[in-house]
Amino acid sequence: MTPSAKDAIRTRLKELGMTQAQLAEKIGTTPAILSRSLGGALVRPDSHWPAILDALNLQVTITPKEQ
């Protein structure tokens, strides 16, 4: 099973030894706003992206950038 985007973020934070509060500071937001973002839908419910990806038999994968 492919991990969700939220799971990928949590795993990456752990790999980097970073907390959500530190990530919030790094991106210039508050921990509360970041928490809401991570708890919400990755794609808005009215977005066409899920249907586009499904129609083209594509999926989105989150991986670390190459250094």
67 within domain boundaries: no
Q: Total domain count for the chain?
A: 1
pLDDT band at 1; cut points 50, 70, 90:
low
35 within domain boundaries: yes
Cβ-based neighbours of 34, under 8 Å, separated by 6 or more: 20, 23, 24, 27
27 within domain boundaries: yes
33 within domain boundaries: yes
65 within domain boundaries: no
Rounded to the nearest angstrom, the gap between the alpha carbon of residue 53 and the centroid of all alpha carbons in its chain is 17
d(CA 55, CA 51): 6
Domain extent, residue 24, equals 5-55
Is pLDDT larger for residue 64 or for residue 23? 23
- ∠ CA 42-4-13, nearest 5°, is 95
**If you average pLDDT over residues 51-58, what whole number do you get?**
93
CA quadruple 51, 2, 12, 62: dihedral positive or negative? Answer: negative
63 within domain boundaries: no
pLDDT digits (tens, 9 = 90+) for 2-47: 678 888 899 999 999 999 999 999 999 999 999 998 888 888 888 9
Q: What pLDDT score was predicted for residue 60? A: 87
16 within domain boundaries: yes
Q: What pLDDT score was predicted for residue 64? A: 87
